[in-house]
Amino acid sequence: MAIAIRKVGVIGAGQMGNGIAHVCAASGFDVRLNDLSEDRLNSALATINGNLARQVARGQLDEADRQASIARIIPATSFNDLSDCDLVIEAATEHEETKRKIFSDICPVLRPDALLASNTSSISITRLAASTDRPERFIGMHFMNPVPMMQLVELIRGIATEDTTFEQAKDFIRALNKTITIAEDFPAFIVNRILLPMVNEAIYTLYEGVGSVDSIDTAMRLGANHPMGPLQLADFIGLDVCLSVMQVLHEGLADSKYRPCPLLVKYVEAGWLGRKTQRGFYDYRGEKPLPTR
C-alpha cells in the first residue's frame, strides 16, 4: 500500500546527509536529521543554514523560504525520534557492516509501512535490503555530491523492491526537483562505475611518474574540458571513499582493471583523505592548495 511521504528521516549528518536534509526541507518535507554526535548535528545545521543563505544571496530562494526550510529540520539523537517518518534515508559512511547495523537497529522502531532507502554509492542494494525486515520497501537512492547543487539521483531497485516502492521513490525524487536515472543493482551502479576507475587511472598515472599532480589535473581540465582535474576531484570525494568504491568494484566484478592503485591505498593509510583532512593529493592548510607530489 502506498503512503504519502511527508516526513523524512536522514541518518548521518555528514556532507551527504546534511545535503539530503537541505534539499528535502527546501522542498517542503519535514526532516528528522539523525547522528550519533551532537557536535556533528550542530555542525550540519550550521552548514545547511549557510548553504541556504547562499541560495538567498543568489536569488534562488527568498528569506522567508530559508527560515521555513531550516525550521523543518529537527535534530534527532535517537532512532526513536524517527519512528513516525514515512521514509528514512541512510547516508552513513560507505562501509557495508556499518550500514547493515544501522538497518537492523532502525527497523524495529519504524512503522511497518515506512520506506527505507540507502544513499550508498556502490554497495549491493539487494544485500543491504536483506538485512532489514522490509526488503520489498527498500531502495537505493544515490544522491550526487554536493546534493543541493547536483541535479542527478541514481535510483536502484534491489531484487525484492516492489513496484509501489519504486513508484513512490520516483515521485519523491521528482518532488525534490531532481532528475532520476535508473541503474541496475551492480557494483557502483552507473556514475561511480565509470567515474572512479577514471580517478583510479589518474592516480596510477601519478604513481607511475607519467605526470605530476598539477600536469595530470591541468591535462584533464583543459584537454578533456572537465570542470576539475581527477586528483582534485578525488580529494573532494574523499580518498577513503574512492578506495572503498574501487574495492567494491574489484571484489564484486573480479576484474584486475578495477585494482585500487597502491598509491591511493598509501594515502588512505596515512590518513590523507583529501579536503576533509586538509591533505590528500593537495595540501589545503595554506592560502591555496599545493600539490603533495
Give the residue numbers annotated as catalytic, written as ranges.
Answer: 121, 142, 154, 192
Query: Facing residues of 182 across strands?
Result: 155
Query: Which runs of consecutive H residues, i.e. helices, occur in the chain?
Result: 15-26, 38-57, 63-71, 96-106, 125-129, 163-175, 191-207, 213-223, 230-237, 239-253, 262-269
d(CA 261, CA 209): 13
Phi, psi of 211, rounded to the nearest 5 degrees: -160, 160
Place of cell 556533528: 40
Name, in order, each residue with C-beta under 8 angstroms of 208's C-beta and a sequence gap of 6 or more.
none
Q: Centre a 10 Å sphere on the Cβ of residue 115 and count the other Cβ atoms it contains.
A: 25
User: In degrees rounded to 5, what are phi and psi of residue 192?
Assistant: -75, -25
Tally the residues of the chain: 293
CB neighbour burial string for 239-254, b if at least 16 within 10 angstroms, e if fewer: bbbbbbbbbbbbeeee
The closest alpha carbon to 73, from 19, 31, 108, belongs to: 31
Instruction: Decide if 242 contacts 258 (C-beta within 8 A).
Output: no
**Which 8-state DSSP code applies to residue 117?**
E
